[in-house]
Amino acid sequence: MPTLAHYLFVSGILFAVGLIGVLLRRNLLIVFMCLELMLSAANLSLVAFSRFNINGSEIPNYHGQILVFFIIAVAAAEVAVGLAILVALFKVKQTVHVEDLDQMKL
Amino acid sequence: MRLLLFWLFSILMLAFAFGIVTSRNTIISAMNLVVSFIFLACLFFTLDAFFIGIAQVLIYAGAVMVLFLFIVMLLFIKNEEQRSFNKTMLATGIMTMIGFCLVLTAAVRTMPSRDIVVPTLLPSAADDVTSVGLLLFLRYNLPFQVMGVLLLVATLGIILLSKDPE
């Protein structure tokens, strides 16, 4: 049977993969995808905590799952706004490479 | 059996997540992200969180992914050309990851509740849509409404951003 530590390790490794993607990749779209990975890693640990913390009642602690629901909704809004900004930027600069996007001025 | 499924899903999920970071083609990265999110939903199912798992598939693997693919194809981004990789940057990134994994290992090792095996649930816990929905609408009603306003503001912002400046 898997323990809580199993799930936390997998969630931590997923977070680390997302972090390394944000740090190393230069394509803004892939940086966005890796941000989504990091959010999902947090979701995985929240669901694991909710499942393992049943404090005697034999039903999971659903408060954690509500938080995951809110995180998913905020992440969806964040992706939509981020991609809209990216398209607006691409119209002006014709690139999504972060090293070419080093000025606030258009 | 549960442990076997756990390892199967998590190894596949991490492999596809690694595929996002390593692939040069943005469309392949997006597809890797879809598969990775589907396996993450499977992991949620192994934790008996059926509602969250289905929401994950619908929202992430469905809606968000369509958005990503649409943008990739709209912008017609060619494969990332092989730029000279900044060596110090690569070293910093890998060291950050190794340091993070070490801190994580230390933190999980000393956690008092780390050895809890999956507790058994009542059969009624399988109906988690009802429980999550009741909690959402009774106790978390205000945050839920605020979330609706947030989505509305996001929609307005996107319309404003994608409008021509003239």
Which residue of chain B has the CA closest to A42? B40
Q: What CATH architecture does domain A4-100 belong to?
A: Orthogonal Bundle (1.10)
> What residues of chain B lie within 8 A of the CB of A34, using their CB?
20-21
Residues B67 and B3 in one domain: yes
In this structure, are residues A59 and B124 in contact, taking their beta carbons and an 8 Å threshold?
yes
The more confidently predicted of residues A35 and B165 is A35
Q: Supply the mean pLDDT for chain B.
A: 86
Whether B59 has a pLDDT exceeding 80, the answer reads yes
Could you tell me if residue B69 is inside a domain? yes
- Report which secondary-structure segment, H or E, holds B150: helix B141-162
Answer positive or negative: Cα dihedral of B65, B71, B74, B75.
negative
B87 touches chain A (CB under 8 A): no
Q: What is the pTM of this model?
A: 0.90
Could you tell me if residue B87 is inside a domain? no
Which residue in the set B96, B121, B158 is minimally distant from A59, CB to CB? B121
Boundary-marking domain end, from B23, B47, B80: B80
Contact A8 B108 (CB under 8 A): yes
HSE-CB at B96 with a 13 A cutoff on CA atoms is: 16
The angle formed by the CA atoms of residues A4, A7 and A13, to the nearest 5 degrees, is: 140
Could you tell me if residue B28 is inside a domain? yes
Q: Look at residues A11, A53, A5, A59 and name the one whose alpha carbon lies nearest to residue B44.
A: A11
> What is the ipTM score, two decimals?
0.91
Q: Spell out where B42-157 has E strands.
A: none
DSSP A27: B
Residues B57 and B3 in one domain: yes
Domain span including residue B74: 1-80
- Cα–Cα distance, A83 to A88 (Å, whole number): 9
Could you tell me if residue B161 is inside a domain? yes
> What residues of chain A lie within 8 A of the CB of B68, using their CB?
29, 32-33, 79, 83
Contact A90 B75 (CB under 8 A): yes
Which residue in the set B17, B68, B132 is minimally distant from A29, CB to CB? B68
Which residue of chain A has the CA closest to B25? A30
DSSP B138: H
Boundary-marking domain end, from B48, B80, B112: B80
| End-to-end CA separation in angstroms for chain A | 56
pLDDT in tens, A41-78: 999 999 998 888 877 677 888 899 999 999 999 999 99
d(CA B74, nearest CA chain A) in Å: 9
Boundary-marking domain end, from B80, B111, B133: B80
Q: Give the mean model confidence (pLDDT) for residues B29-57.
A: 92
Interface test with B, best of A8, A20, A46, A53 (most B CBs within 10 A): A20
The total of structural domains in chain B comes to 2
b/e burial code for range A68-79 (CB count within 10 A of at least 16 → b): bbbebbebbbbb
Contact B97 A20 (CB under 8 A): yes
- Per-residue confidence band for A23, with pLDDT thresholds at 50, 70 and 90: confident
Could you tell me if residue B111 is inside a domain? no
d(CA A73, nearest CA chain B) in Å: 8
Place of tokens 């369509």: B66
In this structure, which amino acid lies at residue A63? H
Residues B13 and B72 in one domain: yes
Query: B76: left (phi > 0), else alpha (psi -120 to 50), else beta?
Result: left
